[in-house]
Chains A and B, each alone.
Chain A
Amino acid sequence: MALREIGDQNFETEVLKAPGVVLVDFWAPWCAPCRVQHPILEELAGEMKNVTFASINVDEHPTVGGRYQIMSIPTLIAFKGGAPVAQFIGLQSKEALRAKLGGL
């Protein structure tokens, strides 16, 4: 599966009501480390079949960013059953993320 761009309008269906673990990448176009994080998530999305990967632009979609009080980007939040189960702040390496997500 690929990394999917989502927004305020479909956050509920794509993340909160989705089955399994969904990793959401909170990013913005002005953030350089976010752009480094992006291809890492795309690669992982191709390799980890049991996790869904989504990204949300906090500049265009402030409602969700505000709800989870995103104060630093990139921030990655893993959701399971509609609730956050893990949060990773700052640029994450592929191996580190794979290990952390594998344990959820």
Chain B
Amino acid sequence: MAGKTYDVIIIGAGAAGLTAAIYTMRKQLRTVVVSPETGGATALSNWVENYPGAKAMPGLELMEQFKAQVTALGTPLVATKVKGITPGVTFRVALENGETISGRALIITAGKVPRRLNVPGEDKFFGRGVSTCATCDGPLFKGKPIAIVGGGNAAVEAALELAEIAKPVYLIHRRDTFRADEITVAKLKTSAVQLVLGSEVTAVHGDRFLNGLTVRDQAGTIRELSVNGLFLEIGSDTDPVLVAPFAKNDANEILVDARQRTNIPGAFAAGDVTDVAYKQTVISAGDGAQAALEAHRFLTVPGYHWPKQ
């Protein structure tokens, strides 16, 4: 089915995508933003204190201001997921709502999603004890046994926070040392958190709801932990469907040059989906603007040269 054709299709509606839309709309480019939700990772942040020019506020509130600016420009927002991207002279983007749209340029700003363990039972008990949002679901486990998986700041901070609510709290980590800041790790020693180090979760089980985990240590010893909650704090990944056509680094992030160009002419990327060193709202916004301005040059400057990567 032949769908609508745009100058620019922006996939993702966090800080990078919404900023890109402001810039492409102001350049009079026919723009569409495709994203199942708006606000990206910033919207899920409880408190943002480092976005210059704005007072400290909940991430969602900041992103609502971004969105208001985008909608005031008349930008169409399509609330659906992308099923596939086919590069060509024009990019064809298949949407989950059944439509296929075309764009002369593409800006990928779809960020990342929380990483999963990929062990048996995880999908079955997701939302029935297994969670990727400790701040959301932790308080629902008052006085109950739970486990957190991970070794970074997010995991250790979640364990410390949940130790005030749930009991007992296990922190399961593949290695024997933590990547988290020393000051945070030091707090673990005086907390009620029980450390399960050098160990991996190999299966999760229950009946209607989660009631246990199988954990294997480096020596191969298997043990069972009785828990009602399992919180995954093991990082995040890009969406494989969206990054598939592009050159990527080892972390599956899209490689971009200093002007947000990918290896495919006409396709740009910005924000957490790229190999940018720092995943920050202000950087995503800046890179989104840069992607939009460069997309405008790509579409309007005769003989625009796409550098080989």
Contact = CB atoms under 8 A, between A and B. Distances in A.
Interface of A: 28, 30-36, 39-40, 58-59, 65, 69-75, 89-91, 93-96, 99
Interface residues of B, number: 35
Interface in B11-52: 36-39, 43-46
B128 A91 contact: no
Interface of B is mostly: loop
Interface in B129-169: 129, 131, 133, 135-137, 139-141
B245 to A, nearest CB: 23
B37 A72 contact: no
A95 B96 contact: yes
Contacts of B135: 30-32
A95 B209 CA distance: 29
B46 A32 contact: yes
Contacts of A75: 127
Interface of B: 36-39, 43-46, 58-60, 64, 78-81, 96-97, 126-129, 131, 133, 135-137, 139-141, 208-210, 228-229
A59 B36 contact: no
Contacts of A65: 140
Contacts of B208: 69
A101 B210 CA distance: 27
